Amino acid sequence: MKTFKLAELILYPTNQDSVEGKEMQLTEGLIINKEEDNEWVVEAVLDKEDLAIVSKLSHDGNVVIAQVRITKPENRPALFLVQVQEVNDLEEEGNVIMRGNLRREDRNDLLMTIQRLRKEGKEEGEILLCGTGLAE
């Protein structure tokens, strides 16, 4: 496993037509490459307002597009297709844990593909597990 500091996290809901993202106000965060099947774990400590947004995005286990920057804000962003696994209230702030896959597609192409797969009747877990075959 490889662990990196999370420098930026922007979440894009995939259950609506717009592609507007919400930048999360990170207190701290990690991103872990599990080095198996392209699986990554994103853990972030957020303020209460952003924690509420993540809770809403995670409702019904919807897949979310996460744009992250690793180590420092100047680094190029990477896109991940993630599903929220846990949201924890920690008094002054909160913690969120997401699991997903690194994606190579453009954000708009990725959103269109997810919407197409939903129309085909795919479940959220199936969409997340489509892995590198998602763009096919």
Q: What is the pLDDT of residues 66-107, one digit of tens each?
A: 999 999 989 999 999 999 999 999 888 999 999 999 998 888
- CATH at residue 103: 2.40.10
Q: Is the pLDDT of residue 131 over 80?
A: no
pTM above 0.75, yes or no: yes
pLDDT at residue number 17: 65
Q: Can you list the alpha helix ranges (DSSP code H) found in the chain?
A: 48-58, 107-119, 124-129
Provide the residue range defining the domain that includes 33: 2-135
pLDDT at residue number 136: 41
**Closest to 78 measured CA to CA, from 114, 52, 110, 53:** 110
**Closest to 62 measured CA to CA, from 79, 80, 85, 39:** 85
Structural domain count, the chain: 1
pLDDT at residue number 116: 87
Q: Distance between CA atoms of 51 and 44, rounded to whole angstroms?
A: 10
List pLDDT tens digits, range 25-69. 999 999 999 888 789 999 999 999 999 989 887 777 788 999 999
Q: Distance between CA atoms of 112 and 40, rounded to whole angstroms?
A: 22
